[in-house]
Amino acid sequence: MPAIGLGVYQMPNGILTQKAVDSALRYGYRHIDTAMIYRNEESVGKAIASGFVPREQIFVTTKLWNSDQGYDQALKACNASLVRLGLSYVDLYLIHWPVHGKRQDSWRALETLFQEGKCRAIGVSNYMVHHLEELLGYCKVMPAVNQIELHPYIYSSRIETIDLCRRTGIIPVAYSPLTKGIKLRDPLLVKIASGYGKNTAQLLIRWALQQGFAVIPKSSVTSRIADNFRVFDFTITAEDMAVLDGLGENLATGWDPAEAL
Ligand SMILES: NC(=O)c1ccc[n+]([C@@H]2O[C@H](COP(=O)([O-])OP(=O)(O)OC[C@H]3O[C@@H](n4cnc5c(N)ncnc54)[C@H](OP(=O)(O)O)[C@@H]3O)[C@@H](O)[C@H]2O)c1
C-alpha cells in the first residue's frame, strides 16, 4: 500500500473530486481513499479511468457503510461500489465502523469478496482494542489494516490500539491526520515545522510516516495536494518526535469509536 493516499471525504461527487484525484495522480500519489458514504465513488472512478496512470498502479480503498452491514447486504454493497467506481476490484475494502451485532457477518462477507478477488485486501476502520480482539477471535483472513483517527493530539489515547495492530501485523492507517485543519495554526507546530522549512500539514504527515502509519490527508486545493506529498526530503528528529508524541489531548475530530460497543 502506498504510504500516502488522497482522502476524499466531504468532496462532492463531480468535477471537483475528479480534478483533485487527477491532480493527486499527477503529483505522484498512487493511493485514493474513498467510501460509499462519501458519495463520490463515481468521480474517483472517472479520474482513474482517464488513464493518466494505469489502474493497476493505483491503490483504491473504499468502505462498507453501516446501513449495508450484514452478510448479504455487504456483498451487494461492495458490488455496487465497484459499479460506481467502474472497477473490477478494489485494492482494499474496509468495514467503515464496528456496528454491534452485524460486524461478524460483515467480516464473513469481506472474506468471501477477498476470495472472489473483488478486494485485493480487506480490513477495518475505527476498531479499538475490544473490537480487534473480538475480530481476531473469528477471522479466517487477517485484517490488513485498521484505519483510525491518528495525529499527535489523539495519539496517546490510541497507543493500546496501535500496539495491538503492530503486534498482529495490522497496518495502522492515519485518518484526519491534519486534525481536519483544527490544529494547523498551533504555535508549537508552526515553530517545529518552520525549523525544517516545512508547513504544519507537512510536519503532521511526516510524523505519521515516521510512526510507520499509512496516511491519507484530504485536500481539494491543487497546491495543497502537491504540498502534502512533499514530505520525503526531511526527517523529524527523535527529540521533536517525542514532543509531538506528547501533545495528546484526546482530540477526536469525528465520532469517537472508543465509545462504540
Ligand atoms: N474511516 C473513517 O471513519 C474516516 C473518518 C474521517 C476521515 N477519513 C479519511 O481520512 C481522510 C482525511 O481526513 P479528513 O478529511 O477528516 O481531514 P484532514 O485530512 O485531517 O484535514 C483536511 C482539512 O485540512 C485542509 N488542508 C489540507 N491540506 C492542507 C494544507 N497543506 N494546508 C492547510 N490546510 C490543509 C483541507 O482543506 P482544503 O480541502 O480546502 O485544502 C481540509 O479542511 C478523509 O478524506 C477520508 O478519506 C476516514
178 belongs to a structural domain: yes
Give the residue whose CA is nearest to atom 48 of ligand 1: 175
Exposure string of 123-151, with b = 16+ CB inside 10 Å and e = fewer, is bbbbbbeebbeebeeebebebbbbbbbbb
Question: Is residue 98 in contact with ligand 1, taking CB distance under 6 Å?
Answer: no
Residue 156's pLDDT is: 98
C-alpha cell of residue 223: 497546491
Question: Is residue 209 in contact with ligand 1, taking CB distance under 6 Å?
Answer: no
CB within 8 Å of 31: residues ≥ 6 apart: 1, 2, 3, 4, 5, 6, 58, 59, 60, 61, 214, 216
Question: Is residue 7 in contact with ligand 1, taking CB distance under 6 Å?
Answer: yes
Helices 15-27 and 41-49: angle between axes, nearest 10 degrees = 50
Give the residue whose CA is nearest to atom 39 of ligand 1: 219
Distance 217 CA to ligand 1 centre (A): 5
Q: How many domains does the chain have?
A: 1
The torsion angles phi and psi of 4, rounded to 5 degrees, stand at: -115, 130
Q: What is the pLDDT of residues 79-88, one digit of tens each?
A: 999 999 999 9
Question: Is residue 146 in contact with ligand 1, taking CB distance under 6 Å?
Answer: no
Give the residue whose CA is nearest to atom 23 of ligand 1: 180
Residue 259's pLDDT is: 87
Give the residue whose CA is nearest to atom 4 of ligand 1: 175
Answer yes or no: pTM beyond 0.75.
yes
Residue 200's pLDDT is: 99
Q: Tell me the catalytic residues.
A: 38
CATH at 151:
3.20.20.100
Distance 155 CA to ligand 1 centre (A): 17
1 belongs to a structural domain: no
123 belongs to a structural domain: yes
Question: Is residue 114 in contact with ligand 1, taking CB distance under 6 Å?
Answer: no
Q: What residues make up the domain containing 226?
A: 6-259
Question: Is residue 254 in contact with ligand 1, taking CB distance under 6 Å?
Answer: yes
Spatial separation of the C-alpha atoms in residues 103 and 69, rounded to whole Å: 7
136 belongs to a structural domain: yes
Please, what's the largest Cα pairwise distance for the chain? 53
Residue 51's pLDDT is: 86
Residue 146's pLDDT is: 98
Q: How many CB atoms lie within 10 A of CB 237?
A: 11
Q: What is the pLDDT of residues 29-40, one digit of tens each?
A: 999 999 999 999
DSSP string for residues in 90-106: BSEEEE-S--TTTHHHH
Q: Which atom of ligand 1 is nearest to the CA of 202?
A: 31
Q: Which atom of ligand 1 is nearest to the CA of 178?
A: 20
60 belongs to a structural domain: yes
**Beta strand 59-64 with 92-95: parallel, antiparallel or unpaired?**
parallel
**CA–CA distance from 120 to each of 60, 107, 115, 166, 215 (Å)?**
10, 15, 9, 21, 19
If DSSP codes are grouped into helix, strand and coil, which group holds residue 4? strand
Question: Is residue 175 in contact with ligand 1, taking CB distance under 6 Å?
Answer: yes
Q: Which atom of ligand 1 is nearest to the CA of 228?
A: 31
The residues of the chain scoring below 50 in pLDDT are none
Q: Which atom of ligand 1 is nearest to the CA of 179?
A: 20
